[in-house]
Chain A
């Protein structure tokens, strides 16, 4: 982590840059959902728009976690704690999901009639 005054001053510029990236990508998320020309996949909301929206949100969240929360240079123990929790959370969701659909063929993921 930046500790010397010079390094801190330098990182302030980085924080401002990341902040503006977050603003821009928020605008992109809204544009993808509302501007007809940027409506990917079928007309209206469908899984393509869902994937794009979540991908942009994940990218923004990563910027916050990596830069603002200093995960780019954290101690090993923090990685174990934080990513361990995420891995456990994802595993529980998947376990629950696999109760409903086949993890290989994805049969049963979407009810009949849902626009895939």
Chain B
């Protein structure tokens, strides 16, 4: 890592960490005023985040998707971009960042500990399908994360409303119906990107390993997590599920997504997708 990258990376991490503290304090202790400062930290952090992404791509010549740090940088980038997009349209939904910022922060921290430097690119990673595959994967991750964040916001508002409590922090949020629809919109967004990711991945696998699908653990995990979202769409469309149950489902579904993207090597040691482990071992 060059010193510019280090400076940007640590600046970004501290700014996201501080945003998390402000968000948590505001929501746990009902200190609405603190929320005003969050964008002042998030926006510069996001600019640094973007700069790291661009510098890394320019320096290595490849779409940065190699190793934990680069994956955290691009996955988190979409999550924060979509969060900022929602905030721009509805300031009241800032609570959503309480979900997306700390999770992005966790991955960035994990990545910077494991593989901050650029890894050598194997022939496998020099394909334009890689860019399509990873791009849509990370976009899907970002959208699902935002949906889960909106799910959390929904549950918080609903809990207060059920108890009959009125607090400006929650009153400023859009109505429960709107949050519910917005949450579903992000699920749809992620679901479509996820589908494109899986199709592009299988075309890439054909070029690389000779077959479109080989029941590799990462493939199975991605398919399963996509199916969970497909199932949730069915539950909404055909059985009329709304609101609370779906919000919980989207929060839990994130576990599957996180495992598919980062955690398969905790379960199996022999996936074709674990490029980093193979490169290092």
Asked if A and B bind, the verdict is: no
